[in-house]
Amino acid sequence: MRLDDPWDDVPAPGRGDQDGTGVAAALDASGAAEPDPRPSAADIYLEVHRSDAFREVRRRYRRFVAPAALAFLLWYLAYVVAATTAPALMARPVAGAVNVAMVAGLGQFLTTFLLTWAYARHARLRRDRAALDLRWDTQEMTRGLGR
């Protein structure tokens, strides 16, 4: 069990806890601390960030989000532009008191929910398993490090 002082960012010289693990760092003949052969958490996360598995998860994310965001933004801008430049078109009745503007406005809500559903489905089917595997591997690599 470690009993570190959370306010002590830099250990005082000679206190022993030089490597952050709660174990005194080994000293060589010159009195300098030997480097720890284990990688640090930062090194592990950089290694994961550079891995092909991480790149694949990010690629799958971008391949869905970029086109979906662009399509939704264009649809929203088309609605705003049509509402401001073609008021006669937007005022055209569709059924009773319901006009084109109301249908398009409700379509904005519908596409929001549809896009949310599509994003959740895509994440579940294409990214969640790979991201969970990466997370598990990263936690296994960092286990035992004095973070």
What predicted TM-score, i.e. pTM, was given to this entire model?
0.61
Instruction: Assess whether pLDDT exceeds 60 at residue 21.
Output: no
pLDDT of residue 113: 96
Element (H, E) at 95: strand 93-95
Task: Delimit the domains of the chain by residue range.
Answer: 41-131
Average pLDDT over residues 8-36: 53
pLDDT of residue 28: 54
- Helix spans in the chain (H): 41-50, 52-85, 87-91, 100-122, 128-142
